[in-house]
Amino acid sequence: MQQALSYTNWPPTTTSSVVEVPKLVAENAVVVFARSGCCMCHVVKLLLHGHGVNPTIFDVDEQNEATVTGELSKIIGTGEANTSCMPQFPAVFVGGKLFGGLEEIMAAHISGELVPVLRKARALWL
C-alpha cells in the first residue's frame, strides 16, 4: 500500500471533493483534513513527516466545509446533525478511522503509541 506516499496535497474541486471523502479515507493510511493555511495542520504534518509518513492533506475551505464535515461525521459514525461530535480541524484519519486532532497526535507521539498505530495502518515500513 504505497498510497500514503503517492501524493501530498489534494486540491479539491467543489463537487467531486465531497464524493471523494470516504474513498480518500478508506484508501489512504493517513489523511489529514485541515483548513487552508492552518498552522496547526502544519504542525501535524511535521510530526508525521518526522516518523517518515507522508500524509494525504485535504484542504477544507469555506465552500466545502459543511459538506466535508457532514461526510466525516458519517464516517465517524456519530449520525448527521450531531454538532457536539462534529470533527474539529485538523482531523487526522489513520487506517480509515478518526485518530483525533493535534492533541491526540501529540499525546500518542509522546507516549510512544503513535508508531505502532502507524505501522498497523501500513503507513510505515520498518
Q: Which of residues 24 and 41 has its CB atom nearest to other proteins in the complex?
A: 41
Residue 116 CA: distances (Å) to CA of 6, 34, 120? 22, 24, 6
- The CB-of-100 to other proteins minimum distance in angstroms stands at 12
Contact assessment for residue 56 and residue 74, using Cβ atoms and an 8 Å cutoff: no
- The CB-of-37 to other proteins minimum distance in angstroms stands at 6
503513535: which residue's cell?
Answer: 114
- The CB-of-92 to other proteins minimum distance in angstroms stands at 14
Residue 93 phi, psi dihedral angles, 5° rounding? -110, 125
Q: Which spans of this chain sit near other proteins (rule: CB under 8 A)?
A: 37-40, 42-43, 46-47, 50, 102-103, 106-107, 109-112
